[in-house]
Structure 1
């Protein structure tokens, strides 16, 4: 049974991950097209790596009340993940999202990013949030721009050029 969502937007529900949700994350990241823009063509993450990521999502939520949430549509169908984590290099709060490949281009990433930015400033005392995308991933960069993030720089992340963006807390 799905528990009450942490956040609801027009079409999306954001949930904390439950132990039985691991196969959903594995299915999402098992798609090479989904993984391409996360790691530029490397093979999909193996089960051990994914299990660690899954446990880190659960731990972040338990510790902070935010995470890279499980995202469903209003009918409860799993469509991806979106939310926040700490960017290791700077410890800034980082917005991220990944959706099932058949759902790309339907505005889910923009809806999720906008709802999450509105929400995080209500629940967390941060002055800004960062986001980044593989520099050549124009669609993901457009999402960050549509939700009001400002481009700051191109930086290397694990040997891959990424475009970094910043969103300041609204006045």
Structure 2
């Protein structure tokens, strides 16, 4: 079942909504940060246009699959703080959970919080469907979040030219 564009996914401290074209300027702040994008295949966006193209891909994915990466807004301030959501791995068959936060929001539990919200949505709308996540072996923080969320290491594979660990939800 698709996640309607107008539907907000909410947690105690965040609200998540589909990306809009106008979000590229805000999102460029973390999409262009080499620290944030260090373990992302393709690396950091070099220009705001790169971020617009990325957001366009997310919007197209939403249109075709009923889910995608979404903008994370801090509930109290309304400020964009990152993105998270569900996206197809390059094989087009497996669905992955992903989360990415602007550096000032690292280490505060936001990734686990938004991850739990996506798992609840996924369980309701795709019961029995396996869920995956890909993460670089050196990205220890994300690996710990995935383990907290109930994912186990499955195997390794190359994703878009980068060696990654593939986790599968228990």
TM over 0.5: yes
Deviation >6 Å, runs of 4+: none
SS at match of 1:84: strand
Partner of 1:99: 101
Partner of 2:82: 80
Alignment of 1:9-158 (within 5 A): 9-39=11-41, 44-47=44-47, 48-75=49-76, 76-89=78-91, 91-124=93-126, 127-158=129-160
- With over 3 angstroms needed to count, the CA separation of the structure-2 counterparts of 1:14 and 1:130, relative to structure 1, is same
Cα pair 2:21 2:52 within 8 Å, conserved: no
Structure 2 unaligned residues grouped into runs of 5+: none
Q: TM-score, normalised by structure 2?
A: 0.86
Cα pair 1:132 1:141 within 8 Å, conserved: no
Aligned residue pair count: 164
Cα deviation for residue 73 of structure 1 reads 1.3
Separation of aligned partners in 2, 1:159 and 1:56: 19
Cα pair 1:135 1:154 within 8 Å, conserved: no
Separation of aligned partners in 1, 2:157 and 2:65: 27
Separation of aligned partners in 2, 1:152 and 1:166: 6
SS at match of 2:107: coil
**Over the residues paired in the alignment, what is the CA RMSD in angstroms?**
2.1
Q: TM-score, normalised by structure 1?
A: 0.86
- With over 3 angstroms needed to count, the CA separation of the structure-2 counterparts of 1:12 and 1:5, relative to structure 1, is farther
